[in-house]
Amino acid sequence: MTDRPHIGFIGAGLMGHGMAKNLVEAGYPLSVLAHRNREPIEDLVSRGAGEAKDVAEIASNADVVFLCLPGSPEVEAAVDTLLGAKGKVRTIIDSSTANPVSTGTLAARCEAAGVTFVDAPLSRTPKEAWEGNLDIMVGASEEVFARLKPILDVVGGKVVRVGEVGAGHTMKLLNNFLSLGYASIYAEALAIGAKSGVSAEVFHSVIGGGRMDCGFYQTFMDYVVGGNPNAHKFTLRNAHKDMRYLVSLANESGIASNVSSAVKNGLATAESLGRGGNYLPTLADTVAELNGVTKTKGQ
């Protein structure tokens, strides 16, 4: 027997699979929600997790529930069911990238039902999720953060309390704004260069290793010049969704969204062209094609 809380996990996808794997291997009793993608579920069950047929069954067994879902609509639906089930759940940890406006509403509803809602979105990639080395931005009171940190430390290498509920999702959107803004700049710079006789390889030979280099640049260019299709497993669809949330937050805050709206519109264009399922570095291909650039690499 264990005195550790029973954890429910909803959303064992690219990031969630590794997180759930680390939780069950750390000795936490774990229930994972059934999903049409059987591979991660069967892997987790083989490691000792139980499979729940629906969200209500998760609620009946779990003390703490992790959500790692595509966005706010899915989070809202899951919370509705968890609260409606009136089960054992006393804490919900939302690791999704969600709209902070929605987060505040959900936190108030949960509080009224005697449930603590915490936003703890993630940074880094599925590789770090598998290794238990994610960056986690937590929105919670100091008391709640101290209580949950041992659990979060199992899945995160850098776990930072960034403020009260809602601050985690706000910080995550700001973090993604920076990376998606860089992606937009890289894509346009590469297209301008290619149109003017500077190949992606030449561009990379100058920028790589210089002051403008960074980890995100390296993964982006690993696709552009390295040809690695899995260099950054984050879809243009999700990128567009995150920027919609960021622009919405800017509007709520009364901040002029000159740059964020431009980044959002570029991603909206890519998705409207049917590229939403492609990974983020392919934005370079879309921007090149829209500008009549047929070859960005060296001749």
Q: Where are the alpha helices (DSSP H) in 26-166?
A: 38-46, 55-61, 72-85, 100-112, 126-131, 142-155
How many Å apart are CA 30 and CA 63, to the nearest integer? 10
Indicate which residue of 53, 86, 172, 297 is catalytic: 172
Quick one: CA dihedral 100, 106, 109, 113, positive or negative? negative
Helix, strand, or coil (residue 63): coil
| Cβ proximity of 98 and 169 under 8 Å | yes
**How many residues make up the chain in this entry?**
299
Q: Which residue has the tokens 């994972």?
A: 32
| CA torsion angle 155 160 165 169 (round to 10) | -70
Q: Is 158 a known active-site residue?
A: no
| Cβ proximity of 135 and 158 under 8 Å | yes
For the chain, the straight-line distance linking the first and the last C-alpha, in angstroms and rounded, comes to: 65
Q: Which residues are catalytic?
A: 172
